[in-house]
Structure 1
Amino acid sequence: MKQFSSLFPNKEAFIIFALYIILFVFQGVFVTASKTENGGYDYNTTLVVFLSEVLKLTASALIYTYKKDYLLHKNKTYSAVYVKKPQLITAICIHYKLLLLYFIPSLLYCFYNNLAFINLSHYDPTSYYILLQFRVVLTALLFQCLFKKNLTYMQWVSLGILTLGCMIKNFDAASIQSKGDTDLWSQLFNIYFLSINFQNFCSCLAGTYNEYLLKNQGSDVDIFLQNVFMYLDSVICNFFILMFKGELGTIVDDFEALGDIFVLLIIVNSAVVGIVTSFFLKNLNSILKTYASALELVITAVVCYMLFNIVITGFTVLSICLVSIAVAMYFKNPVSNVNPNITDSKDKEPLLEVTSK
């Protein structure tokens, strides 16, 4: 139970952890179900990402606006201090520097979300999520730099096993694509391999920097206001991508292709995922986030086998086993980077958002 309490400071943190995994499994399934027979999409994927960000922004702004007026904060002596919540526009003006800082993770997440559609069109969901685990080592290095927390030997061993599992799965995916051809290495290190690794880079840098903003630069700022900053910047970034791709002129026609049920589910599920991720990083940490992503592999492999008849190969089983071992090792020796606004000490009340009666 000691390890469990180190991983999850409270019950809500465990719920966020589980919900994060489930929602990302759904996202992979929905995107796969929306593909055409030739593996492409008959809708504008950039527009789908843009609408998801608009939905996230709208939801965060509404929740912040209609929340009750008081937030509970604590000073260094852990005495309660009540601060009246400013109106949305006023809050944006007050924290404009934080708004500008959020352009960094917003742009990175913008690349990540758009690349997800491209890479899922060339990999099955299980292979896709396994290949995404290459980000774990880079996440660990960035985590150490930003939070000045050195990982232990066993934590690094765990990360190494996780990376090995990903390498084996990448070899498996390349073998299937080559279908016995001698050009295996070109399949292994092709443009989509580079694409998914750039997506990994965007993911780990955005996630770690987002955690840094949530717990340091914006530690005393309401999480839904920070979400407003993130998604406002994301909407702007995605708008410029639409403009850069020359798709603004066809946007009306593109809307007509968004009536498919799976496309609507992608938009809604992506919006929920974004908000849940902010709570994940606020209450847990980006290292645990990489392991949560790894746990998606087992569920995704089973679900895709049942729904899409995607074969589970021996390499896939070996990869999943290695990933599972790495996760088990980590759970026995987790990284502690609790939000400074949350404590698990019995003589200190946790810093939580509360409502006035």
Structure 2
Amino acid sequence: MAAYAVSIAKEDNMSTSDITKMLEAHADRLPTESGTTSFTLTDLGDNRYRITGSRATSKHFSRILGMNSPTLSSSAEIAKGGTPAPCVLATNTSPSNGRGIEMNNNARMTISGCSVQSNATGSSSVHLTQAFITVTDGSGPGKLCHGGGVYQANGNAVSATKELCATVTDPLAASLPTPTPTGTTYGNPGTDYSWYGSKTFQPGIYSSGFVANNGRTHYLEAGTYYITGGNFEAQSGAKIIANGPITIIVMNGGTIRITDYSASANSFQAPQTGPYAGILMWRVNNGSCPNPITFAGGAGFTYDGVLYFPGCLLDVSNNAHISTRSEFTYVLADRIMMVGGSRMTIDVDNPYGLAANLGGGGSGGSFALVK
């Protein structure tokens, strides 16, 4: 079997299964004898892997002589360089209190397959008081990157490699198109008391906000929802259930508040195609953000896509749980605050069938042939 090399590059960390799948996709480059090509990947440690490919052949000459078909194989060693890109990023280098990521009172962050980074350059760039961060990268610890230091007090725990890292700029600022609201203009459902129970809403322009309240159920059809005035909110036991992939874009100084939310079993999923592929929630940065992005009080369900809040504080509190499970996961904010038993769980290693990837941040990581 002729030896060959496949160039593999990906902005964020690749799991062993990811690499194997990419090799299998290149199996057609091997000689065309009949037989199935199989790959085994051996983790050698220190981001080095040995790949062995084998194929059972079926030669005409072998069949005539009654010989067993030979199995051809070759192996190569690859190494991964660079740092997995962050999928949680607090961009502010000089916040007023020196803290880019602040967690206390039993808040927990569990990240798999990517890194966490605070750009703040102070000694409390990441500030933990009775809080917990776990970052894994494949089978070992992942990186908790900071711009100046990690402060730990009162029974907290960090299961990650703490590392002083260079500042990471917003990877989406230059690539996302400036949003241009399109579609029909609708009123705010929160001020319409003519209906009860449930109602279906269409994508388009919501010029006075979109507020779900009073225990009512709001079904969102697939598409882009432009909040050009007011806020996007779920409160008072209301439910918002997406019937397909959606993008929510809040413009002109509004904010996002998901509080006292009752549909914990539901998930929002971003589109995989179109101008906002991968974007689930985006608060457009207009130069100021006086009101934080808020997830609080039982606001717990799965967000498959980018939560993009440049210039804003992301405030997660009161047992809220932000859970994401896709390859295009990214949580970006000016600063991140987690308190009161809140959770953030991100698993990039298990994309649940979502294939898009926005990459971005860090030095990325690439696999190169060693021998």
Compute the TM-score of the two structures, normalised by the length of structure 1. 0.22
Point out the structure with the larger strand share: 2
Relative contact order, higher structure (CA 8 A, sep 6+): 1
Point out the structure with the larger helix share: 1
Which of the pair has more CA radius of gyration?
Answer: 2
